[in-house]
Amino acid sequence: MAELQEVQITEEKPLLPGQTPEAAKTHSVETPYGSVTFTVFGTPKPKRPAILTYHDVGLNYKSCFQPLFQFGDMQEIIQNFVRVHVDAPGMEEGAAVFPLGYQYPSLDQLADMIPCILQYLNFSTIIGVGVGAGAYILSRYALNHPDTVEGLVLINIDPNAKGWMDWAAHKLTGLTSSISEMILGHLFSQEELSGNSELIQKYRNIITHAPNLDNIELYWNSYNNRRDLNFERGGDITLKCPVMLVVGDQAPHEDAVMADSGGQPQLTQPGKLTEAFKYFLQGMGYMASSCMTRLSRSRTASLTSAASIDGNRSRSRTLSQSSESGTLSSGPPGHTMEVSC
């Protein structure tokens, strides 16, 4: 009997005819740690934060976020916000390779570049959306500048420094694998990599043939040398803003991330992420239910009513909702929301 094979289905719902992507403007600013490039889409909306994204290692803002931000249903959300997509130094399209011996910024220093971007744009607050290393950088920024962060969407964050076991495994892998294979192993699960779907072929091709692979290795090294964020539940070091924690179920390093962890849900599940993001923004008072899709409206209504019965719900006593979108859990309304997809 032929073996049944699990196939990864990537959601595709591109922009509708007539929906054109907004014009983008790319800027660079000088910071104490070197120059940083970012691309702005849309215009600032009064009394609304900017959405600021930070991508993972091996990617840039386009390869990390384009499938999510150009997803059809996402337009309803993002038209209400200006977006700032940061490229880590040396990751922007056409970046020159850094000279030998160049001291690449640490993740903490990359976080310290963000105030220069916001000052240049004259933006006072953000909702951060980060993946992997980018999620770490935005969390560090939020810990240092809590008053400027209204919310955080953290996809596949690993808040801990590498332990000695991780280092040993990393060194061993480094003996037999190329940098690009190690980075692919950070981004995708072994199951996804051996499945070799079109998406994997595309990202394998992007990373192995990247003209700035030497720069990518520097960002990779900074990621591997990160220190603990030292989050403590209920302790002094906590994120003060609402957080949407996203973990995929295709984990390359399942035990490291805060929950299940996995894959690149912003590439493979843009519809599920869009829906969860809508709930999150609605909890923050930014998306009136009248501008939500019928499906989202009915789900949000049940989530909101259940949450209001027990307004003091703690994070460990979560409200969970199962749907074809995976499992959503919500802590105190508008505070912490966990999404697995």
- Where do contacts with ligand BEZ occur on this chain (CB under 6 A)? 21-22, 41, 62, 65-66, 69-70, 78, 83, 85
Taking CB atoms, the residue at the shortest distance from ligand BEZ is 69
**Smaller CB separation from ligand BEZ, 83 or 186:** 83
Q: Alpha-carbon distance 242 to 335, whole Å?
A: 4
Shortest Å distance, C-beta 206 to ligand BEZ: 15
Shortest Å distance, C-beta 208 to ligand BEZ: 23
Shortest Å distance, C-beta 209 to ligand BEZ: 21
Q: Alpha-carbon distance 77 to 70, whole Å?
A: 11
The closest of 243, 239, 240 to 339, measured between CA atoms, is 243
- 80: alpha, beta or left? (left if phi > 0; alpha if psi -120 to 50): alpha
**Smaller CB separation from ligand BEZ, 11 or 214:** 11
Query: Coil, strand, or helix at residue 145?
Result: coil
| Cβ pair 132, 155 in contact under 8 A | yes
Shortest Å distance, C-beta 22 to ligand BEZ: 6
**Dihedral through CA 220, CA 222, CA 224, CA 229, nearest 10?**
-130
The closest of 222, 219, 223 to 95, measured between CA atoms, is 219
Shortest Å distance, C-beta 274 to ligand BEZ: 13
**Smaller CB separation from ligand BEZ, 78 or 273:** 78
Report the relative pairing of strands 243-247 and 336-340 from DSSP bridges: parallel
> How far is C-alpha 136 from the chain's CA centre?
9
**Smaller CB separation from ligand BEZ, 62 or 335:** 62
**Smaller CB separation from ligand BEZ, 94 or 311:** 94
Tokens 């949450």, located at residue: 307
**Smaller CB separation from ligand BEZ, 217 or 275:** 275
Shortest Å distance, C-beta 42 to ligand BEZ: 7
